[in-house]
Amino acid sequence: MRSVLFLALLLISALPASATDMPALGAGCLSCHGAGGHPALADVPVIAGQQPLYLANAIRAYRDGQRASGQALVMHEIVKDVTDADIEALANWFGAQQ
Ligand code: HEC
């Protein structure tokens, strides 16, 4: 019994860190972009299933001041301190959502 449990744990831990593992920073995005990137708000874009490269470019452009985000410049503030690795992780996760 014990070894079965051990095997199961081994199998689970052997799975690659998958698209189901939301990067910690992603939690802060859901209040506007909705669960899994499907917003309930009509003026917030759907980011679920978008191409990861497009998402990464958009986030980087907000961070680097190359893209304006509406009148409140809301995205600028939110991503001003994210690293390139954070951007990659966020873009891959939201891009993998259905
Ligand atoms: C306070 C609400 C709010 C939060 C929180 C928020 N966003 Fe946004 N986001 C917006 C709005 C509004 C826009 C549209 C802005 C514009 O006009 O460019 C947007 C745009 C975007 C876009 C561009 C989409 C496109 O189609 O070009 C991306 C990508 C994005 N957000 C990712 C994120 C990520 C990742 C997070 C979390 C780190 C996040 N957002 C947190 C409100 C928010």
Task: Compute the chain's Rg from CA coordinates.
Answer: 17
Supply the pLDDT for residue 27. Answer: 94
Residues 6+ apart with CB under 8 A from 79: 59, 62, 63, 87
Whether 14 shows a pLDDT value over 50: the answer reads no
Q: Which band of pLDDT confidence, cut at 50, 70 and 90, is reported for residue 30?
A: very high
What is the rounded CA–CA span in Å between residue 45 and residue 10? 39
Residue pair 25/57 in contact by the 8 Å Cβ criterion: no
Shortest-distance Cα residue to atom 1 of ligand 1: 32
Supply the pLDDT for residue 20. Answer: 73
Shortest-distance Cα residue to atom 43 of ligand 1: 32
Pocket test for ligand 1, best of 22, 30, 32 (most atoms within 8 A of CB): 32
Supply the pLDDT for residue 5. Answer: 44
Percentage of the chain surpassing pLDDT 90? 73
User: Which residue do the tokens 């992603």 mark?
Assistant: 26
10 or 87, which is more confident: 87
Whether 7 shows a pLDDT value over 80: the answer reads no
Q: What is the pLDDT of residues 42-97, one digit of tens each?
A: 999 999 999 999 999 999 999 999 999 887 789 999 999 999 999 999 999 999 99
What is the rounded CA–CA span in Å between residue 24 and residue 77? 17
Greatest C-alpha distance within the chain: 60
Q: Verify whether ligand 1 is closer than 6 Å to residue 78 (CB atom).
A: yes
67 Cα nearest atom in ligand 1: 18
Q: Verify whether ligand 1 is closer than 6 Å to residue 45 (CB atom).
A: yes
> How much distance in Å is there from the Cα of 33 to the middle of ligand 1?
7
